[in-house]
Amino acid sequence: MKFIIDKNLLNNVINSVNSYIDKKDISSITSHIFIEAKDDIINIKATDHEMGLAYKIKTQNIQIQGNATANGKTILDVIKGLKDDDIIIETMNNFLYIKQKTAKFKLPMYNSTDFPDFPSIENKKSFDINFQILSRSLKKVLPTIDISNPNHALNACLIEIKPQQINFVGTDGKRLGLYILNKQTNNTQSSILMPKRAINEIQKIFFEEAEIYYDENIFIARNENFEFYTKLINKKFPNYQKVIPSEFETTIEIQRDKILEGIKTINMICYKMQITIKPNLILFESISEDNSEAKTEILVDTQMNKDEIILKVTNKFLIDFLNSIENNIFKLNYNNKDVAFMLSSDELINIIMPTI
């Protein structure tokens, strides 16, 4: 194998796929990236068996077709250190050579036939979607997804695929996020559980249109330039509809910027607060265990039909919601201080339990 490629282009691709290599066992084939040069396309991919990412680079500079592997961290370190110019990638006698002018590096390879195949799209349901819209939808509920919950279903986003819409749901047991994407899929109703790590990696992929293939175990997104896959969590997600109250005593609209200012002030010294909303002002008070205190208020016309609303809440839950919305106006739906309240803006809903 031998080809010539721009250093920055190769660096960007290898840097992207390097998140998917096996970093725990450097003796494993999955600690290497796979490189194939064939039919005017350079295919570079990496996987740790749980997730995988591949990029295809179109080029006229393939001199000898073939394939190779190289330790992902080592090849990235080498390429990062080279000058911004073309480099030569070549295999010879079971080694991978990287050359640029007088610089020459020799890296050991593994047998490329041992590199695991990516999952097949056969017998999987499918639909097309703008990948940036998918990424943005997942990001809306990302903060509400737990990280290391013993119930593995809570470490994932529930994606409900319906004929006319896709629902994205996350919960950590203390709050619930629901984002509704109005999107025609023409699929019968089905659902999958995507791990939080996969959602974080999807945020780094910047292609537009993609074909989605999925079953209960695998999710695949691909187009002519890239292919991404992740294993899914095969557990039962809680019935989130039971968490969403069917009715509320009070609904008011609040300006995002004003309430965020008050929250950030209290957030300087504690992570929980009490918010008291009255017809003409909102009062923010710290809830602290070390006798420190913080208090601030903002003047605002809430146009509410009751004397006051009291919220006892973890600051981060409010900040996460407010950072996830584009509209400066959001709705607060409230019953009483002892039960969950709902925040909503456009298609995003957060149900938040009061803090103790």
pLDDT in tens, 153-174: 999 999 999 999 999 999 999 9
Residue 39 lies in a domain: yes
Residue 9 DSSP code: H
* Judgement on whether residues 212 and 258 belong to the same structural domain of the protein: no
Q: Total structural domains in the chain?
A: 3
Q: Which regions in the chain score pLDDT beneath 50?
A: none
* Judgement on whether residues 284 and 342 belong to the same structural domain of the protein: yes
Residue 174 lies in a domain: no
* Judgement on whether residues 98 and 50 belong to the same structural domain of the protein: yes
Domain boundary among 241, 263, 287: 241
For 336, the domain range is: 245-352
CA distance 232 to 194: 5
CA distance 107 to 79: 12
Residue 120 lies in a domain: no
pTM of the model: 0.91
φ, ψ at 316 (rounded to 5°): -60, -35
In this structure, is the dihedral angle defined by the CA atoms of residues 18, 323, 149 and 315, taken in order, positive or negative? positive
* Judgement on whether residues 38 and 108 belong to the same structural domain of the protein: yes
* Judgement on whether residues 202 and 276 belong to the same structural domain of the protein: no
| β-pair partners for 194 | 157
φ, ψ at 11 (rounded to 5°): -60, -45
CA distance 45 to 112: 12
Residue 168 lies in a domain: no
Mean of pLDDT over the chain = 95
pLDDT tens by residue, 97-122: 999 999 999 999 999 999 999 999 99
| DSSP assignment string, 299-351 | E-----SSS-EEEEEEHHHHHHHHHT--SSEEEEEES-TTS-EEEEETTEEEE
Question: Which domain CATH number covers 133?
Answer: 3.10.150.10
Residue 164 lies in a domain: no
Residue 171 lies in a domain: no
Domain boundary among 114, 146, 172: 114
Q: Which residues contact 291 (CB under 8 A, 6 or more apart)?
A: none
CA distance 185 to 296: 48
Residue 177 lies in a domain: no
Half-sphere exposure of 200 (CA within 13 A, CB side): 11
- The answer to whether the CB of 248 falls within 8 A of the CB of 241 is no
Question: Residue 119 has what pLDDT?
Answer: 97
Residue 56 lies in a domain: yes
